[in-house]
């Protein structure tokens, strides 16, 4: 390239633009991004949550697991190998804690034993719409309906809607409060006393006599939520549930006010139980809060089975009038 000067002379040369300097993400930012996720992963894997606040927020682990990919990207852009490595380990730890619930397990699928169909629903102080409850019962044909926050008024409404004809056997501990609970069954039931010490709301238990199968022990679960000082009662309640027995098939269903990301819930399952939704690949389907301006976010309602029980199907259903979704499990009992 040449340029003509004022005197008419031509001067040759090349115009060189200075290279642009790329802005690199500060290495310290990578550590700042990964640190909270790493702490969360350590708490989840190690079962380190303590107190009411950390116990409540631990239910958000599935969302934290998904968001943990962001620090991996930030570490890579910052060219901070150490932070990227920690971020990858963090994502893996959270992923292995959460993803199996969406995949299911080998124990899920059709079983050859006697069928037992279970439906559980927290009725929000008896405000669930009786017609919607009856529609579920008629459509899903449960052998057992486990109810929480069952009031005397709700008992009357369900009877008037025809529940007694479909599920004629009952063990009820209804109250005009959140403490009421009750079991309805298609098959004969006998109240079961002194199986464990209930801590929190009423948690009736019964022995169900099934045709072509051994009797099944059934527990309607509803501990207090882990709010404030109630976290100690919540922990004690779940810890007090009986371990699985080699001589008896036991099923527990209800509002546990706990997710599989709580250490106390995992310790309970380690006593010989399995979460039916986890086995069926539905363990990340949220059950609370329903019927709100925000969609359901966390999974705290469960059907827990003896690990020898096969899980054929699990589904979750919204019921107008209550803030919990119903959980249905189609089970096959061992011979």
The per-residue pLDDT for range 275-327, each reduced to its tens digit, is 999 999 999 999 999 988 889 999 999 999 999 999 999 999 999 999 999 99
> At 245, phi and psi to the nearest 5?
-120, 135
Is residue 58, in this structure, part of any structural domain at all? yes
The per-residue pLDDT for range 146-165, each reduced to its tens digit, is 999 999 999 999 999 999 99
205 lies in the same domain as 287: yes
> Closest Cα partner for 58 from 231, 229, 222, 203?
231
241 lies in the same domain as 152: yes
Is residue 7, in this structure, part of any structural domain at all? no
Q: Which domain holds residue 39?
A: 27-98
Which of 40, 67, 98 represents a domain boundary (last residue)?
98
* pLDDT greater at residue 240 or residue 13: 240
SS (H, E, C) 58-102: HHHHHHHHHHCHHHHHHHHHCCCHHHHHHHHHHHHHHHHHHCHHH
User: Residue 16 — very low, low, confident or very high, per pLDDT cuts 50/70/90?
Assistant: low
Contact at 8 Å (CB) between 130 and 184?
A: no
Give the ranges where the chain is alpha helix by DSSP (H).
27-46, 51-57, 61-67, 69-77, 81-98, 100-103, 130-140, 152-160, 163-166, 230-240, 263-269, 276-279
Domain count, the chain: 2
- CA–CA gap between residue 226 and residue 19 (Å, rounded): 59
Contact at 8 Å (CB) between 44 and 65?
A: no
- CA–CA gap between residue 256 and residue 237 (Å, rounded): 10
Contact at 8 Å (CB) between 286 and 296?
A: yes
The per-residue pLDDT for range 35-66, each reduced to its tens digit, is 999 999 999 999 999 999 999 999 999 999 99
Q: Is 124 helix (H, G, I), strand (E, B) or coil?
A: coil
The per-residue pLDDT for range 90-118, each reduced to its tens digit, is 999 999 999 999 998 866 666 678 999 99
159 lies in the same domain as 37: no
- CA–CA gap between residue 239 and residue 54 (Å, rounded): 18
Is residue 12, in this structure, part of any structural domain at all? no
Is residue 141, in this structure, part of any structural domain at all? yes
205 lies in the same domain as 113: yes
Which pairing describes strands 115-122 and 144-148: parallel, antiparallel, or unpaired?
Answer: parallel
The sign of the dihedral angle between the CA atoms of 138, 139, 142, 147 is: negative
> At 2, phi and psi to the nearest 5?
-125, 155
> Closest Cα partner for 311 from 326, 327, 286, 333?
333
139 lies in the same domain as 234: yes
């Amino acid at each position: 390239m040449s340029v003509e000067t004022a005197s008419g002379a031509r001067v040759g040369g090349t115009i060189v633009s200075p290279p642009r300097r790329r802005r690199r993400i500060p290495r310290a930012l990578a550590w700042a991004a990964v640190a909270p996720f790493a702490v969360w992963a350590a708490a989840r894997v190690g079962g380190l949550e303590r107190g009411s606040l950390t116990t409540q927020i631990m239910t958000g682990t599935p969302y934290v697991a998904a968001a943990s990919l962001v620090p991996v990207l930030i570490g890579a852009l910052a060219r901070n190998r150490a932070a990227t490595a920690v971020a990858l380990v963090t994502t893996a730890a959270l992923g292995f804690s959460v993803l199996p619930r969406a995949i299911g397990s080998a124990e899920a699928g059709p079983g050859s034993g006697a069928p037992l169909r279970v439906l559980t629903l927290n009725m929000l102080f008896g405000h669930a719409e009786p017609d919607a409850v009856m529609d579920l019962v008629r459509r899903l044909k449960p052998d057992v309906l486990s109810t929480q926050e069952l009031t005397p008024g709700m008992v009357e409404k369900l009877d008037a809607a025809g529940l007694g004809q479909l599920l004629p056997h009952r063990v009820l501990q209804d109250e005009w409060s959140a403490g009421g609970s009750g079991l309805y069954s298609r098959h004969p039931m006998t109240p079961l006393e002194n199986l464990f010490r209930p801590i929190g709301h009423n948690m009736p238990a019964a022995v169900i006599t099934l045709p072509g199968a051994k009797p099944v022990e059934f527990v309607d679960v509803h501990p207090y939520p882990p709010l404030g000082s109630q976290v100690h009662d919540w922990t004690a309640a779940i810890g007090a549930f009986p371990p699985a027995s080699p001589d008896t098939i036991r099923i527990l269903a209800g509002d546990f006010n706990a997710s599989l990301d709580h250490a106390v819930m995992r310790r309970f399952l380690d006593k010989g139980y399995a979460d039916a939704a986890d086995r069926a690949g539905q363990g990340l389907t949220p059950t609370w809060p329903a019927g709100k301006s925000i969609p359901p976010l966390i999974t705290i309602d469960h059907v827990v089975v003896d690990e020898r029980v096969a899980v054929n199907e699990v589904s979750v259903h919204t019921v107008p009038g209550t803030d919990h979704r119903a959980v249905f499990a189609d089970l096959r009992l061992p011979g």
